[in-house]
Structures are given as C-alpha cells and as structure tokens.
Amino acid sequence: MAQLVLGIGTSHGPLLSTPPDMWHLRAQWDRAQMHPYQGRLYSYDELCAARSGENLAVQITPEERRRRYDACQGAIARLAQIWAAAKPDVAVIFGNDQMEIFGNALLPAFFVYAGETIENGPASAEQKAKMDPGVAVAVDGHKPKQRVVYPGLPELARRLIDALMAEEFDVAVSTKLPAGPRGSADIPHAFGFIYERIMKGKVVPNVPLFTNTFYPPNQPSAKRCLRFGETVAKAIAAWDTDLRVAVFGSGGLSHFAVNESFDRQVLAAIKANDMATLGALPHAILQEGTSEVKNWLGLAGAMAQTTLAPTLIDYVPCYRSEAGTGNAMAFMSWQ
C-alpha cells in the first residue's frame, strides 16, 4: 500500500518573495481596501484606530522587516531540506485559486485536477503591468524562469475522486486547467510556490486539490475542510502501490490583517491534533487571505490519519503597515 511519509504546511504570500525594503508597495494596496479583522470589516483608517494600542510602528521598521524576512527564508530552506531528505515519489497539494484559473463564470467549492500534465511559465511584462501593487515584484517566487510542463498524477486523482464522491463530496473535476479571467491556464501560485521554493523545480507527479477558500457564497466550512483531508488520507492509504506520498497545505496564515492570537490558536490546535477546535473555527474570521487556513485544515485532517508527528519550524508575523496589515507566515512539517 502507499505510504504517507511527509506533511508540509507553508505560507506562500508575496512578502516571501519581496525584498523587505519593498514591502511598502503592497501596503499601498492595503490603504485602498476594506479589511476583515476579528469578525468585523474595517477601512484602513478604522483599522489603524482599532489597533493603535498595539504599538505596531516598532514592527515595521526596516531592521525588523529584514529580520522577519530572513527568518522566513530560513524556514523555507529548512522545509526544502526536509522535502529533499524524505524523497517522496509523489505529492498531493491542498491549495486555492485567486481568480487565476476560475472566476465568476465558474467557481467550484472543491476541485480535483486529474490531468496528465501541469503547466507553468514566467509572467510577461504585460501581465506584470496589470498586477496589483507589490505583486509583480514577487511573481518569480512561484514562476519558473522558462515554460515548464510538470507531471500530473491522474491515477491517484481518480482514486481521490472516487473516495470523495463516496463520502458525498461532489467535487468538480477536469483533466485540463481552464484559462481564467487573466487569460492563463498556468497552475495558480498556491501550487507554483511549492514547486519552486520547496521542490526547487524538481517536481514529482502530483495532484492539485483546490478549495474555494476566498470567495462567497460557496466557501466550505472549516469542519468540511478537515473531513476533506481525512478522506484524502484514507484514499492514499488504500492505494495499492509502494509509492511514498507527501501532502502539502499551501497558504495562510492570517492576512491581510495579521491576527497573531488567532494564528497561535490554530497552530496550537494543529499540533495537539485538536480537531474539535479546528472544526469550529468561525466563518467570519476565515475570510480574505486568512481563509487559506482551510488549506492547512485539509492537511491537518490528512495528517490526523497517520502517526507522523508535527513540528513547527517557525511562525513569523510579517507586518507592512501601521494598521497591522501584512501576512503572518507559518512553516510546519510532519515526519
């Protein structure tokens, strides 16, 4: 039978691929947005006022940004080392799309990609010019330097589809990624980050699993995401092969308003295998970028079916403005 040998949870946000002296570019975008925080919606100025007692100015100095950036790079390097040492044959990745291949015309709650191949390539100058402030500078963190065709894993994808349907997950399925609102059918950045920064371009056959974490009205609940992961792990364990399998959760933690207390609650529950706490995480908080915690929940649900032990490599709240906007980064392994 297949052996699930490794789990990896990692953030994938733009700040991880942006020099810290350029983090202010993304903060420009923050100032024009409304931000969910602690279950409420705030304008940028309202968020500044609400968090004025946190003394966030000391957390966005050039020196502090550099220190936190360096800590993140060290954690990513450690995850890459763990991946290389474990030598998995294949992988399953819990990730999400941000209007890259899906859009308002089609937005599945759960989607299993079952194609033979997975494509990705560098962003053109024209594409970069259309990106939000602070995104173009980071795009190379999840894009190869030249067009690449990676191997999919349709055999395992079909087994996962069968298992998920048997457990009443009515998953969307395709053997070809759609060209989304931006005109590209390249694999979204949640997956590209894993390929480039953890696998270092040496991509094993893999199954991308998509959860609509971001966009109402069909966002699966936290509890549903846990059960999704549990079902995936059971299907892997029943696969009649001697292949070694790794499972990833890509994204999070809290952003675009960093919420350290929430993040620490999530990480503690994951380490303690506390499915009750994870399953009860409130929908009102799991919005915007923080919703990507649900990719970690798929991973946590899968790892709960194994004897692998979790290790928190690092947790680094990366602030980029006096309102507390930014991205809280987390890095964890199960071995």
- Could you read off the pLDDT of 298-318 as tens digits, one per residue? 999 999 999 999 999 999 999
The full 3-state SS of 184-210, as one line of letters, equals CCCCCHHHHHHHHHHCCCCCCCEEEEE
Q: Dump pLDDT digits (tens) for 171-182.
A: 999 999 999 888
**pLDDT attached to residue 180:** 86
The encoded tokens of residue 150 equal 């990676």
Residue 189 pLDDT more than 90? yes
Q: Dump pLDDT digits (tens) for 42-81.
A: 999 999 999 999 999 999 999 999 999 999 999 999 999 9
Residue 134 pLDDT more than 90? no
Confidence bin at 136 (pLDDT 50/70/90): confident
Closest to 35 measured CA to CA, from 192, 254, 276, 294: 254
Confidence bin at 284 (pLDDT 50/70/90): very high
**pLDDT attached to residue 137:** 84
Closest to 211 measured CA to CA, from 267, 257, 250, 178: 250
Residue 166 pLDDT more than 90? yes
Helix (H, G, I), strand (E, B) or coil at 111: strand
For Cα atoms 18, 196, 108, give the angle at the middle one, nearest 5 degrees. 95
236: Cα separation from own chain's centroid: 21
> Domains of the chain (ranges plus CATH)?
3-334 (3.40.830.10)
Confidence bin at 27 (pLDDT 50/70/90): confident
Helices (H), the chain: 24-30, 44-50, 62-86, 125-129, 154-166, 189-193, 222-237, 260-271, 275-279, 293-303
Checking DSSP bridges between strand 110-113 and strand 206-211, what pairing results, if any? antiparallel
Mean model confidence pLDDT for the chain = 96
Task: Please enumerate in sequence order all residues whose Cβ is within 8 A of that of 200, keeping only pairs 6 or more positions apart, or say none.
Answer: 80, 84
Checking DSSP bridges between strand 3-10 and strand 244-250, what pairing results, if any? parallel
